[in-house]
Amino acid sequence: MKSYRIACIPGDGIGKEVVPAGQAVLEALAAAQRGFRFEFSTFDWGGDWYRAHGEMMPAAGLEALRHVDAILFGSAGDPHIPDHITLWGLRLKICQGFDQYANVRPTRILPGIDGPLKRCAPADLDWVIVRENSEGEYSGVGGRVHQGHPIEVATDLSMMTRAGVERIMRFAFRLAQSRPRKLLTVVTKSNAQRHAMVMWDEIAVQVAQEFPDVKWDKELVDACTARMVNRPASLDTVVATNLHADILSDLAAALAGSLGIAPTANIDPERRYPSMFEPIHGSAFDIMGKGLANPIGTFWSCVMLLDHIGESEAARQLMQAIEKVTADPRLHTRDLGGKATTEEVTNAVCALLAQNDRLRVA
């Protein structure tokens, strides 16, 4: 029987609730499918680890993860630790250390979910946002001088490399090509940022020539926010820089009904390193420990994980179970206007997976 090694990093806040829920669902799926199993290892890195050790994860942490088949991540964020420490010390350390340069964020309005766009039919909103995940505005280049003095200067330099832009463009065109509409929107800001973003545009034109069957257009990032709201059906696959896609994908998640539903995958397309799957939301300390966290974003991330490791039939079954659960308003958590708890939603998904198994045996 095939066995997959999965590293679980719950991290902070509601990550500690949704990652065990994701693990429970993967276990239920493996029990129902019977063709494979999972070996989980959990790493308690994050804010508590920082308080005890002065770092978000151990220096040798990447080595401990290097040979797993995939990583299931919760969130990094703690009200008592500056955000740049929690982000750079854990999530970005893994993304950059494992060169997970493609961040993939699908968005759909799932059955039973009431999105805020009243003029939009659920089928109008079916996007995948591809975020450049290794450089750009989050490359970490910059510094501060004269700290605390009136002449203080601080810089954050956006670094774009030809190799980095080419590989993310190629990934996005390939993804667009694999989807039924074969439609890609390249998000830019080359009217105002006249060096790196102009190179970004030029590379899009060059890479497009390798994909003659993909229809593509270019959109300024500000105009793209309006297009997402006013003409959602005109978008399908979208590629954008690290910062632009970060913002656009939160908007996308909100337009799909809740931040609690949206999944994301940090992929190393060359498979030199493990890829990492996580809900798009953060630590949400305001609802932590109350059983209010919506685990659907984590479950959908598990669907992406299963697809990545090659278990696409299991991925399809899990997505089907998720959609059956969202279709039932009695199983909506508070962020969706319901009263269900994290545990109730998890149990419902697990029960549906077990039912599939019983149907198969019968």
Q: Measured on CA atoms in the order 259, 263, 268, 274, is the torsion positive or negative?
A: positive
**What count of other Cβ atoms lies within 10 Å of the Cβ of residue 356?**
17
Q: Report the alpha-carbon distance of residue 15 to residue 45 in Å, rounded.
A: 11
Helix H, strand E, coil C: the string for 296-321 is HHHHHHHHHHHHHHCCHHHHHHHHHH
Chain positions 35 to 64 lying near ligand ATP, rule: CB under 6 A, are none
The pair of structure tokens assigned to 190 is 């080359």
Closest CB 257 distance from ligand ATP, rounded Å: 11
Closest CB 61 distance from ligand ATP, rounded Å: 19
Chain positions 255 to 284 lying near ligand ATP, rule: CB under 6 A, are 259-260, 281-284
- Pick 214 or 292: Cβ nearer ligand ATP: 292
Mark the segment that binds ligand ATP (CB under 6 A) among 2-10, 24-32, 287-295, 312-320: 287-295
DSSP 78: B
What do you get for the CA distance between the two ends of the chain, in Å? 22
> Does 294 sit near ligand ATP (CB under 6 A)?
yes
Count H helices and E strands in the chain, helices first: 12, 12
Closest CB 299 distance from ligand ATP, rounded Å: 11
Helix, strand or coil, per DSSP, at residue 69: coil
Mark the segment that binds ligand ATP (CB under 6 A) among 33-41, 88-96, 293-301, 307-315: 293-301
- Pick 164 or 295: Cβ nearer ligand ATP: 295
Backbone angles phi, psi at 351, to 5 degrees: -65, -40
Q: What contacts 145, CB < 8 A, 6 or more positions away? A: 152, 153
- Pick 185 or 333: Cβ nearer ligand ATP: 333
Closest CB 196 distance from ligand ATP, rounded Å: 26
- Pick 40 or 285: Cβ nearer ligand ATP: 285
Among 21, 71, 287, 318, binds ligand ATP (CB under 6 A): 287
Q: Report the alpha-carbon distance of residue 68 to residue 14 in Å, rounded.
A: 24
Mark the segment that binds ligand ATP (CB under 6 A) among 104-112, 225-233, 285-293, 353-361: 285-293
- Pick 267 or 293: Cβ nearer ligand ATP: 293
Let me know: does 301 contact 280? Beta carbons within 8 Å: no
The pair of structure tokens assigned to 326 is 């969202």
Q: Report the alpha-carbon distance of residue 65 to residue 41 in Å, rounded.
A: 10
> Does 340 sit near ligand ATP (CB under 6 A)?
no
- Pick 184 or 261: Cβ nearer ligand ATP: 261
Q: Report the alpha-carbon distance of residue 176 to residue 216 in Å, rounded.
A: 9
Chain positions 60 to 119 lying near ligand ATP, rule: CB under 6 A, are 75, 77
Closest CB 249 distance from ligand ATP, rounded Å: 11
> Does 308 sit near ligand ATP (CB under 6 A)?
no
Q: Report the alpha-carbon distance of residue 319 to residue 309 in Å, rounded.
A: 16
Contact flags string 133-172 toward ligand ATP, x per CB under 6 A:
----------------------------------------
Q: What is the CA radius of gyration of the chain?
A: 20
The pair of structure tokens assigned to 264 is 């994301």
Closest CB 259 distance from ligand ATP, rounded Å: 4
Query: Which positions lie near ligand ATP, rule CB under 6 A?
Result: 14, 75, 77, 259-260, 281-287, 292-294, 297, 333, 335
